[in-house]
Amino acid sequence: MREVEKFPEVSVVMLNYNGIKFLQRTIQPILELDYPNYEFIIVDNGSTDGSLEFIKKFDRIRLIQSPRLREKNFACNYAVGSAQGEYILLLDNDILFTSKNIIRYLLEYSKNLESFGCFGLSLINENEKESDFYGGFLDYYFIKHNKVPLCLEKLKQIDKIMIGFPHGAALFLKKETWLTVKGYDDHLIFGGDDMDLGMKLWLSGYRNYLFSKSVQIHIGKDSNKNNNYYNFKLKNIFYAHLYTIVKNYSSLNIIIILILYSFFAFIKSIKQSIFRLHAGSLLAFFQGYYLFMQNLPTAIRKRREIQSKRVTKEDIFLKIKAPKLG
């Protein structure tokens, strides 16, 4: 007798804040996915641009409101907590799907990969021919920036490679896995989401992989032209990175990486201040450090919990290298 094909429920969870210009393009492809058992949840973070009225036009979308506004990490945790699916496909509102079969592919792949923890979906900015959205990688300078941009053909060639952490704009994992590592750290308002999740997964015995069988389109490229917004991001990113280092790294690596990261972050802030002719970037560096020192007790408390549960003594994520393709 032929075995009946099973379709585990998948929850597609999208975070939205004032994203109606994206939603008008990104919602419909999700509603047209070729998979018989998925729910579509949008968690709103306090939109005032007509997003809510637009979303309510679609009967298949379950709209929920985050109780804490303008806090991405909390909103994602809140939405995943209410999701009914066995698997979670977590997205930003500016990700345009290019494959109707993406859920089928993700499920098939995840069942055949050793110690599967999370997929980071590969992305390419709209109207660009190359991309470095193929997962995040860590080293002793912390996050490896300036990865080699790859064309679509080469992105597909590195499908299923191991990565340090997934890009927070689009990732896929079991809900049980998310809950095991406690998802995103909702102490942080901005930043420290995807890389922290990736580190915790590695330390808990899981592995992170890249999905690039199909490459999705990122339609919301941030220009970073507004100095005030850029410096706000910079301050919170500096803080989030320092906080994340203390939480997740081994004792020896904390010392090395805090020193190296602080040096390069300081240089970056000077460069940005010169480039922008605006002292705000340098000020953001010191503001980020002030936040870090102010909240160091919280980082240490969370560190004790994470380190007590790690299954490996090594910071394995430091050994995962970016592919050498050009």
Q: Which pTM was predicted?
A: 0.95
Are residues 266 and 133 part of one domain? no
Question: pLDDT band at 4, cuts 50/70/90?
Answer: very low
- Asked whether 150 and 325 are in contact (CB, 8 A), the reply is yes
Question: pLDDT band at 3, cuts 50/70/90?
Answer: very low
pLDDT at 2 over 50: no
Mean of per-residue pLDDT scores for the chain? 94
Residue pLDDT, tens place only, 222-270: 767 789 989 999 999 999 999 999 999 999 999 999 999 999 999 999 9
Are residues 192 and 310 part of one domain? no
Residue pLDDT, tens place only, 137-192: 998 878 776 689 999 999 999 999 999 999 999 999 999 999 999 999 999 987 88
Q: For the domain that residue 161 is a member of, what is the CATH number?
A: 3.90.550.10
pLDDT at 59 over 90: yes
Range of the domain at 238: 227-319
pLDDT at 89 over 60: yes
Question: pLDDT band at 311, cuts 50/70/90?
Answer: very high
Let me know if residue 255 belongs to a domain.
Answer: yes
Are residues 212 and 165 part of one domain? yes
Say how many domains are in the chain: 2
End-to-end Cα separation, the chain, in angstroms: 50
Range 127-133, long-range pairs (CB < 8 A, 24+ positions): 131/155, 131/215, 133/167, 133/169, 133/218
Are residues 261 and 203 part of one domain? no
Are residues 186 and 243 part of one domain? no
Q: Please give the full DSSP string across 223-246, using - where no structure is assigned.
A: ----HHHHHHHHHHHHHHHHHHHH
Are residues 57 and 154 part of one domain? yes
pLDDT at 1 over 50: no
Residue 138 CB neighbour total at 10 angstroms = 25
pLDDT for the residue 145: 66
Are residues 188 and 300 part of one domain? no
pLDDT at 221 over 90: no
pLDDT at 297 over 70: yes
The b/e string for 230-260 (b: 16+ C-beta within 10 A; e otherwise) is bbebbbbbbbbbbbbbbbbbbeeebeebbee
pLDDT at 72 over 60: yes
